[in-house]
Chain A
Amino acid sequence: MSEATSKKIRVVVAKPGLDGHDRGAKIIARALRDAGMEVIYTGLHQTPEQIVETALQEDADAIGLSILSGAHMTLVPKVMKLLKEQDAGDIVVTVGGTIPADDIEPLKAEGVAAVFTPGAPTQDIIEFINGAVAA
């Protein structure tokens, strides 16, 4: 990746649910942009339907979901289901936020590619998305 000729990775950074903790989402959005990706930040309080619609409209390669409200086990499976229904199951979905360790495997079973919990280095997230989209 990152050859001048290669297409820029398009990432939708999204905040599903009702919590307003957007510090992490905004930092990640900026870091991904600085790493050369095309970043679309949805803003706050997005429904799963809105997020999937944005991802399809933007022809996204990846979606980064940031959730700190504790509703991830409700909202993330909904996003994954909608993506599959829209034949967009190839979009790489990552989740970031306060996700208890016990919930990580169930989220991956839903098709989430990676879960980043507090303390995850931004560089790791950049590298993961680069690798996962290229794969």
Chain B
Amino acid sequence: MEPGAQAGTGRPPQTSASAAPDGLREPEGRETGNSATPGVATPGVATPGVATPAHASAGDLPTTISGEPVQPLYRPADANTDYDRDLGDPGTYPFTRGPYETMHRGRLWTMRQFAGFGTAEETNERFHYLLEHGQTGLSTAYDMPSLMGHDSDDPRSLGEVGREGVAVDTLDDMQTLFQGIPLDKISTSMTINAPAAIMLAFYVANAELQGVPPGKLAGTFQTDILKEYIAQKEWCFPIDPAMRLVTDLIEYCTKEMPLMHPVSISGYHIREAGSTAQQELAFTLADGFAYVEAGIERGLDVDDFAPRLSFFFNAHIEFFEEIAKYRAARRIWARELRDKYGAKNDRSLLMRFHTQTAGVSLTAQQPQVNIVRTAIEALAGVLGGTQSLHTNSFDEALALPTEEAVRIALRTQQVIAHETGVTRTADPLGGSYHVETLTNQMESAAYDYFKRIEALGGIVEAIKQGFPQHEIADAAFRYQQEVDAGERIVVGVNSFQLDDEQQTPTLKIDAALERKQVGRLQAVRARRDALAVEQTLTALRAAAATDQNLLYPILECARVYATEGEIVQALQDVFGTYRETPVF
């Protein structure tokens, strides 16, 4: 979902140009139908108050949406690559061209649309529907209270229960969520971070009740807490104990759950918060390195857990820059894992990632046009070699998507997969002077950031000092100013507006679902063994004060139906809470 909420806002050009016959307005001074003319667009001097796009060439600004300059032509000397050192065939070091030899010809990406709403009951029905229609993996969206570690009957949860995902308060909800679904046969992705260890415990405890041992459970827990402090801002604890919980989870999965991906290192939310592509790349990789270092410090062999780390990137609208981002990401990850962290297994070096199209690029104006944006973004993800893909629905700048909108989003992937032929050849843009140059530039921009982060004492310290947060806020503001000034065209927002927009029907979430969930939770509280809950929570508090792995005591709490909020509270009693210093 990730609704592209504050999607591209901007001042409409105050053009006096007469409206076109169909009601569309065109910006002044903009040649149309001449897009073949190469050449650097010269940005005009923006006159305050007059937001007409002031560039006369067919191009937009001569910079990417990330602010990077682009030349009108690239030649071999610009691209400057050594094939064996910098590219290699797909499936060989440094994996720039892809993690697998045959890429999408050998295996299509997974079309993984994530879903969740209301109570576990509604979402379980949706899961069954998806499985009956051929989906082989599930992806769970949690509601805001669950993401923040609040129970559904917590006063802070009022109005938020089941709205942006499913409400999961106890093991009982997890049982309902996966009722009738064989957990040893279905892989499940869980978009949960601060309370990831608790949801993993609920999941494991539920599997035990189904007779499935943890070793047979496959899937992904997002668990990427660093990007929460940087961008998504759903947290429970201060950064250091939160990092300890991530490391506990990595260690637990490494020892007990060999099929589980313990962390999905996510740039998606960093980009949605307004970062540039370069920042998304750099901060995400820096987060990834921090988890690798934490695992090694814990005493794990890097080759025992690095193969289970995966990534999650945004696919924004700046087509070639995005493809370069994915290629650079694979190359940097492989090099650093091998050379800096001493990984010897190839599977530790090859980066696999999930992609979601940019919610932030969606507009509330003329929302059908979002179908086109999403298709182009999805294509960038595919050409960049993604392993799985979520395409946003066109109405997500307005509300959670309707079924029809979700279906079109899935169909978009199917058209790319089955009609366009882009899957036949691995890394089809490899060797493009432009794309190789961009890939090199992307890589060097990331290393520039790594140096600055290092100088601050590493990414955890940098986050505490607000460095990535400030960089992102600056980038978001710069972009907004370009849109407001009419220098950067957003179709339907600051150009080509419609005078009378049709209202798009949107999905309504029944407010009664919140009461239903609160009722479910209170019924669990009434029938569970209250003494056992108190004892396990006390044991958890004691364990939190030591350095033992907390997954085991959390699992004990889960088994006796302690609530998510109670477990979080017990840990907060020891760890404290987190409060961001608000900056803008």
Binding site for B on A (CB under 8 A): 13, 17-27, 29-31, 33, 39, 41-45, 47, 68-71, 73-75, 96-98, 100-101, 117-124
Residue of B4, B233, B360, B579 near A20 (CB, 8 A) is B233
Q: Is the CB of A122 within 8 A of B234?
A: no
Q: Tell me the count of chain B residues lying within 8 A, CB to CB, of chain A.
A: 57
Inter-chain CA distance A70–B10, complex, in Å, is 23
Within 8 A of A (CB), among B257-302: 272-274
Q: Is the CB of A21 within 8 A of B160?
A: no
A44-B233, A45-B148, A70-B509 known; A121 and B164 CB under 8 Å?
A: no
Q: Is the CB of B399 within 8 A of A100?
A: yes
Residue of B6, B11, B160, B503 near A118 (CB, 8 A) is B6
Q: Is the CB of B144 within 8 A of A17?
A: yes
Instruction: Select the residue from B148, B480, B484, B493 with max chain A CB neighbours within 10 A.
Output: B480
Inter-chain CA distance A79–B477, complex, in Å, is 28
Residues of B contacting A119 in the complex (Cβ-Cβ under 8 angstroms) = 7-10, 363-365, 493
25 contacts between A and B (CB under 8 A): A18-B145, A18-B234, A20-B234, A21-B5, A21-B272, A23-B273, A25-B584, A26-B473, A26-B477, A27-B477, A30-B477, A41-B583, A43-B580, A43-B582, A70-B399, A96-B6, A98-B398, A100-B508, A118-B4, A118-B6, A119-B9, A119-B363, A121-B12, A123-B484, A124-B11
Residue B80 is within 8 A (CB to CB) of chain A in the complex:
no
Residue B108 is within 8 A (CB to CB) of chain A in the complex:
no
Residues of B contacting A30 in the complex (Cβ-Cβ under 8 angstroms) = 473, 477, 584
A118-B397, A123-B484 known; A23 and B160 CB under 8 Å?
A: no
Residues of A contacting B157 in the complex (Cβ-Cβ under 8 angstroms) = 18
Inter-chain CA distance A124–B363, complex, in Å, is 17
Binding site for A on B (CB under 8 A): 3-12, 144-145, 147-148, 150, 155-160, 163-164, 228, 231-234, 272-274, 360, 363-365, 397-400, 473, 476-477, 480, 484, 493-494, 503, 506, 508-509, 511, 579-584
Residues of B contacting A47 in the complex (Cβ-Cβ under 8 angstroms) = 155-156
Q: Is the CB of A100 within 8 A of B234?
A: no
Inter-chain CA distance A41–B580, complex, in Å, is 12
A26-B473, A119-B493 known; A71 and B480 CB under 8 Å?
A: no
The 8 A-B residue pairs with the shortest CB-CB distance, nearest first, are A74-B159, A20-B233, A43-B582, A24-B6, A71-B159, A121-B11, A18-B144, A26-B584
Q: Is the CB of B6 within 8 A of A68?
A: yes
Residues of A contacting B493 in the complex (Cβ-Cβ under 8 angstroms) = 119
Q: How close is A69's CB to chain B, nearest CB, in angstroms?
A: 5
Residues of B contacting A25 in the complex (Cβ-Cβ under 8 angstroms) = 584
Q: Is the CB of B11 within 8 A of A70?
A: no
Inter-chain CA distance A26–B159, complex, in Å, is 24
A18-B234, A22-B273, A30-B584 known; A121 and B476 CB under 8 Å?
A: no
Inter-chain CA distance A27–B482, complex, in Å, is 13
A27-B480, A118-B363 known; A17 and B10 CB under 8 Å?
A: no
